[in-house]
Amino acid sequence: MARVGQINRLKIVKEVEFGLYLDGGDLGEILLPLRYVPPKAKVGQMLEVFIHLDSQDRLVATTDKPLAQIGEVAYLEVTDVNRTGAFMNWGMPKDLLVPYAEQRVPMEKGKSYCVYLYMDLSDRIAASSKLSLHLKETNDNFKSGQPVKLMVVSRSDMGYTAVIDGTHLGLIHNSDILQPLRMGQKMQGYIKGIRPDHRINLTLQKRGAEAQEELGLMILAVLEANDGVSELTDKSTPEEIFKRYRVSKASYKKALGKLYAAKKITITPTQISLVK
């Protein structure tokens, strides 16, 4: 069965002067207007299309891809605000409505916000910036150290809230932020831990012995590529260390300590060197 608000793979069942009709299962035949018909498309062929509502709220297909589908979070720009709510550009001819009741803060034209796409009670595609109403905030089965895909969605005094793997919300504490972050930014992250209330703490740095070993190997590789010497020491600034290795100063110092203990490097106030 075809799903409204999502990309579907549907069979062409009829060719007409103004386009193609696709088999939408329980939704019936769905029109793919002529301007979206690929060259050499014919009856019986399968097409990948997005199903949405046109300006008259009729089901229609398109081969254009939206910026987000139902069940996804996206960072979208507001194109207009009126008595109904805010309207956002999501790559479709008809803008996406965010009702006032679904706005975490009043939206303004020209600004962008992270929103979750859903089907409203009238079976229309809509969006909400109240992400906690649509995504889980407590742990299901995440484990400490687990790699996850993150999207930054809001900021508070404690840090940044991020969507985890498109399904949950977690917090990157200020103390774990080593670089500027922006709304809508997507990145690799890790589960730092689960709080007593089952909410999820996140980090952007790999943790544990494996991470330390990888960092040690990176340091050795940099030394070997630079005649065995580096001026990046345990006295260097956090910014200098992060620019080179994308880790905190504490992690870097710990890695240097392990390499020194293993007699692989020597350390002076001005440089580190490979042991010959």
Is residue 30 within 8 Å of 22, Cβ to Cβ?
yes
The per-residue pLDDT of the chain, averaged, comes to 91
CA dist 126 and 130 (Å) reads 12
Any idea which fold 73-133 has?
Answer: OB fold (Dihydrolipoamide Acetyltransferase, E2P) (2.40.50)
How is the chain split into domains, by residue range?
7-62, 73-133, 147-203, 209-274
Range ranked top by mean pLDDT from 103-117, 169-183, 246-260: 103-117
What class has domain 7-62? mainly beta
For 177-189, the pLDDT digits (tens) are 877 899 999 999 9
The pTM score is 0.78
* pLDDT at residue 201, as a whole number: 95
**Is the fold of 73-133 the same as that of 209-274?**
no
Give 147-203's CATH code, choosing from 2.40.50.140, 2.60.40.420, 2.60.260.20, 3.40.50.1110.
2.40.50.140
For 75-118, the pLDDT digits (tens) are 999 999 999 999 999 999 889 999 999 999 999 999 999 999 99
Look up tokens 């060197």; give the residue.
273
Is residue 5 within 8 Å of 123, Cβ to Cβ?
no
CA dist 118 and 95 (Å) reads 14
For 39-65, the pLDDT digits (tens) are 988 899 999 999 998 878 889 999 999
Does residue 191 carry a pLDDT above 90? yes
What lies within 8 Å, CB to CB, of 22 at 6+ separation is: 2, 10, 11, 12, 13, 29, 30, 31, 32, 47, 49, 61
The pLDDT of 255-260, averaged and rounded, is 85
What lies within 8 Å, CB to CB, of 88 at 6+ separation is: 76, 77, 78, 79, 95, 96, 98, 113, 115, 127
Helices and strands (H, E) in the chain, number of each type: 3, 18
Any idea which fold 209-274 has?
Answer: Arc Repressor Mutant, subunit A (1.10.10)
Residue with more model confidence, 17 or 88? 88
Is residue 159 within 8 Å of 203, Cβ to Cβ?
no
* pLDDT at residue 89, as a whole number: 97
